[in-house]
Amino acid sequence: MNLRAQAMAVLLLGLVRLLTGAQARWHGCPPKAEQRIYFANHQSHADLVLIWAALPQELRSITRPIAARDYWTASNFKRWITTEVFNAVYVERERKGDEDPLAPLAQALESGDSLILFPEGTRGHGEDPQPFKSGLYNLAQRFPDVVLVPAWIHNVQRVIPKGEVVPVPVLCSVTFGEPLALGADEPRADFLQRARAAVMALREV
């Protein structure tokens, strides 16, 4: 990260913590510098920023959020901040031909990075997460040694209400739960339901 990106990271971290508190709660899963996939509910474009800000610095530096290419490269500033500050992994929301949509994520995991993933695939608008798509299951199969950590993001959708552009100070938090493991021969649908339930259970913690 160059000096300009470092300065922006410090400024952004301070702004996010001022507006939201960016509190991290660790339940059954202490912060640890091991390769992980953090998977969480998704209700706002600010979700990846909040999880990034909630992680300790030593984990932030090795953890890359997944970012929708069409949204996060729509302007030069968005492209720059997701590339230079967040070191995001861009994904296509619409499958193109025979391209493997998980290829950029697999490449990041093969390089030893941790990831922040939103298994719903797109933002939800209800209180409960939408059904999880198969990406998390496929990655768990391909990378069995990567630790899967569920997370619940509280209140971030209220920071920038729909249709607004000015953030509203609201206390937010991210609760990280006990790691989940893919069972031997566990069917995809069963695993995805279990993973979704693990995320939802954290809102009561």
Give the angle 8-10-13 at the CA atoms, nearest 5°.
105
DSSP per-residue string spanning 130-199: PPPPTHHHHHHHH-TTSEEEEEEEESGGGTS-TT--S------EEEE---B-PPTT--HHHHHHHHHHHH
CB 199 within 8 A of CB 40: yes
pLDDT per residue, tens digit, the chain (205 aa), is 788 888 988 888 888 778 777 788 999 899 999 999 999 998 777 788 888 888 998 999 899 999 888 888 999 999 999 999 999 999 987 777 677 889 999 999 999 999 999 998 776 666 788 999 999 999 999 999 999 999 998 865 555 555 555 455 567 788 999 999 999 999 999 999 999 999 999 988 7
Angle (deg, nearest 10), helices 47-54 and 3-20: 100
How far apart are alpha carbons 203 and 69 in whole angstroms? 29
**pTM listed for this prediction:** 0.89
Cα–Cα distance, 111 to 115 (Å, whole number) = 11
What is the C-alpha separation between 53 and 38, in angstroms, rounded? 14
Collapsing DSSP to helix, strand or coil, 129 comes out as: coil
Domains parsed from the chain with CATH numbers: 3-204 (3.40.1130.10)
Angle between the 103-110 and 135-142 helix axes, to the nearest 10 degrees?
A: 30
* Contact yes or no for 34/55 (Cβ under 8 A): no
Q: In angstroms, rounded to a whole number, what is the distance separating the alpha carbons of residues 205 and 7?
A: 35
Q: What is the DSSP letter of 44?
A: -
DSSP 88: P
